[in-house]
Amino acid sequence: MQVTVKLHAILRRYRPVGIPEEGIPVEIPDGGTPREVAAALGIPLEHIHAVFVNEAQAGLDTPLRPGDLVRLFPPVVGGA
């Protein structure tokens, strides 16, 4: 099945060449999870801090459906 992935901050470096930032189509097995999305893109799990599926907070083991939008965020540090 195919889902669309949006990578944020430093995770953008895992975007495949030639794919626009608006959304990365990723093919995973039926019933796949954000964990499998990360693996398909070569993103180490320790680089993922937050997962959202269709704008709702989710986890790495949340079951996905075809057409879902998966957003992956790294840990964020900094501030003033």
What are 32-77's pLDDT values in tens digits? 999 999 999 999 999 999 999 999 999 999 999 999 999 999 997 6
Q: Which of 50, 54, 58, 59 is nearest to 69 (CA)?
A: 54
Report the number of distinct structural domains present in the chain: 1
What integer pLDDT is reported at residue 79 of this predicted model? 55
DSSP 8-state secondary structure symbol assigned to residue 40: H
pLDDT number for residue 14: 94
Task: Please report the beta strands in 23-76, taking only residues with DSSP state E, as ranges in sequence order.
Answer: 24-27, 50-53, 56-58, 69-73
Parent domain of 12: 2-73
Q: pLDDT by residue (tens digit) across 16-27?
A: 988 877 799 999
Tell me how many degrees the CA angle 77-78-80 measures, rounded to the nearest 5.
Answer: 155
Contact 69, 54 (CB under 8 A): yes
Indicate which CATH number applies to the domain containing 65: 3.10.20.30
Residue 40 lies in a domain: yes
Q: Is residue 79 part of a domain?
A: no
- The reported pLDDT for the residue numbered 80 is 58
CA angle 16, 22, 25 (to 5 degrees): 50
